[in-house]
């Protein structure tokens, strides 16, 4: 299937990330589920390369297979056909080199904030106890939770819990961060402040990110490139590059360039919902 590539701001230079080697490579990836003895195609024939250090957002309507695709990248779900490689090696199971953050962060309710962040390091057997604590504190500072290390997750707000989930993932130094609507359950204000916090961290770490969202605005503010998916069957309909200058701040939303890109993505999503897949 042909995938149109658009540049949000009228062409020009390719995204900076194209200079980096490839980190994730999906070739002809499909996923079929069997429900009530009937096979149904959740994701079909996805070809997608994500460069090292690139920030890619995947947008699309509910049910178009975004989570399924991300779970396959994580190694939590096996493709029915096709191949997924990370840094040249086939992805066949979950690995610490791929951090995953879900909408409801996978925090451990009985552990304090600090001990939630040390947990992944304990599993990896990484460092001494005091080294793990030192490293966990560094990441808690990064996400703005330094003053909350002794709290339990239930004593945190939703936004703080998602900050904790991000620290938990990053402390294990993943090469790839896979995020499935991590801010989807938050109010608009908290959501925007977490987007900026994530951008700030990413500017420093340059981890490769694949971030699923159904918010077009969120995708435009975060991404180097937006992959627009369409439903029935779930597939990549279009890719839109986002050549907005970095580092980005909240003010970028008010720029004409931002609005133009947003419009292009909206249009792509609308076109896909009008044009049926079986034409
Ligand atoms: N384990 C599963 N078994 C059967 N169907 C599934 C399973 N997981 C997802 N689906 C179906 O696959 C489609 C894509 O789901 P999903 O990837 O969750 O979409 P999105 O994240 O874009 O909302 C949906 O129709 C969903 O019901
Ligand atoms: Mg989903």
Positions of the chain with pLDDT lower than 50, given as ranges: 1-2, 7-19, 274-279
pLDDT tens digits, 216-266: 999 999 999 999 999 989 999 999 999 999 999 999 999 999 999 999 999
Mark whether 180 and 135 lie in a shared domain. Answer: no
Report if residue 265 sits inside a domain: yes
Distance CA 272, CA 243 (A): 23
Mark whether 27 and 56 lie in a shared domain. Answer: yes
Residue with tokens 């959740």: 42
Mark whether 77 and 118 lie in a shared domain. Answer: no
> Of the candidates 118, 112, 200, 122, which has an alpha carbon nearest to the alpha carbon of residue 160?
112
Compute the distance from residue 63 Cα to the ligand 2 centre, in Å: 7
Number of domains the chain is built from: 2
Structure token digits, residue 162: 């998602």
Gyration radius (Cα) of the chain, Å? 19
* pLDDT at position 72: 98
* pLDDT at position 80: 98
* pLDDT at position 4: 52
Q: Which domain holds residue 56?
A: 4-97+176-274
Domain boundary (131, 148, 173) is at 173
**From edge to edge, which strands make up the β-sheet containing 208-212?**
4-7, 235-241, 225-230, 55-59, 208-212, 176-180, 98-101
Q: Say what the alpha-carbon torsion angle 40, 43, 45, 49 is, to the nearest 10 degrees.
A: -170
Mark whether 203 and 74 lie in a shared domain. Answer: yes
Distance CA 79, CA 163 (A): 30
Mark whether 155 and 168 lie in a shared domain. Answer: yes
Domain boundary (173, 205, 232) is at 173
* pLDDT at position 104: 78
User: Which residues surround ligand 1 with Cβ inside 6 Å?
Assistant: 33, 35, 42, 60, 62-68, 234
Q: How does DSSP classify residue 77?
A: S
* pLDDT at position 122: 94
Mark whether 20 and 86 lie in a shared domain. Answer: yes
Mutate to test the pocket of ligand 1, among 68, 73, 178 (most ligand atoms within 8 A of CB): 68
Following DSSP, what letter does each residue of 91-136 receive, concatenated?
Answer: --S--TTEEEE-SS----TTS-HHHHHHHHHHHHT-S-HHHHHHHH
Mark whether 194 and 156 lie in a shared domain. Answer: no
Q: How does DSSP classify residue 165?
A: H
Nearest CA to ligand 1 atom 17: 65
Report if residue 279 sits inside a domain: no
Helices (H), ranges, the chain? 66-74, 113-124, 129-142, 158-170, 188-205, 216-222, 256-274
Are the C-beta atoms of 221 and 253 separated by less than 8 Å?
A: yes
Mark whether 67 and 185 lie in a shared domain. Answer: yes
Mark whether 92 and 183 lie in a shared domain. Answer: yes
pLDDT tens digits, 80-101: 999 999 999 999 999 989 999 9
Residue with tokens 């720029």: 255
Mark whether 169 and 180 lie in a shared domain. Answer: no
């Amino acid at each position: 299937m042909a995938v149109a590539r658009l540049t949000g701001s009228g062409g020009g230079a390719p995204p900076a990330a194209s200079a980096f080697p490839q980190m994730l490579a999906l070739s002809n990836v499909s996923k079929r589920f069997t429900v009530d003895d009937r096979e149904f195609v959740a994701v079909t024939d996805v070809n997608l390369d994500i460069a090292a250090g690139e920030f890619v957002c995947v947008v699309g309507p509910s049910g178009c297979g975004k989570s399924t695709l991300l779970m396959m990248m994580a190694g939590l779900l096996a493709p029915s056909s096709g191949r997924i490689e990370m840094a040249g090696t086939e992805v066949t199971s979950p690995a610490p080199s791929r951090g995953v953050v879900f909408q409801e962060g996978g925090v451990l309710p009985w552990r304090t904030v600090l001990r939630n962040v040390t947990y992944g390091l304990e599993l990896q057997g990484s460092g001494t106890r005091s080294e793990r604590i030192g490293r966990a504190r560094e990441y808690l500072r990064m996400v703005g939770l330094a003053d909350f290390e002794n709290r339990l997750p239930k004593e945190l707000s939703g936004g703080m819990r998602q900050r904790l989930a991000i620290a938990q993932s990053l402390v294990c130094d993943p090469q790839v961060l896979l995020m499935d609507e991590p801010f989807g359950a938050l109010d608009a204000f908290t959501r925007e402040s977490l987007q900026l916090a994530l951008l700030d961290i990413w500017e420093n770490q340059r981890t490769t990110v694949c971030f699923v969202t159904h918010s077009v605005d969120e995708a435009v503010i975060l991404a180097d490139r937006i992959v627009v998916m369409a439903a029935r069957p779930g597939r990549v309909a279009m890719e839109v590059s986002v050549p907005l200058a970095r580092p980005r701040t909240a003010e970028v939303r008010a720029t004409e360039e931002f609005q133009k890109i947003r419009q292009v993505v909206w249009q792509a999503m609308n076109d896909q919902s009008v044009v049926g897949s079986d034409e």
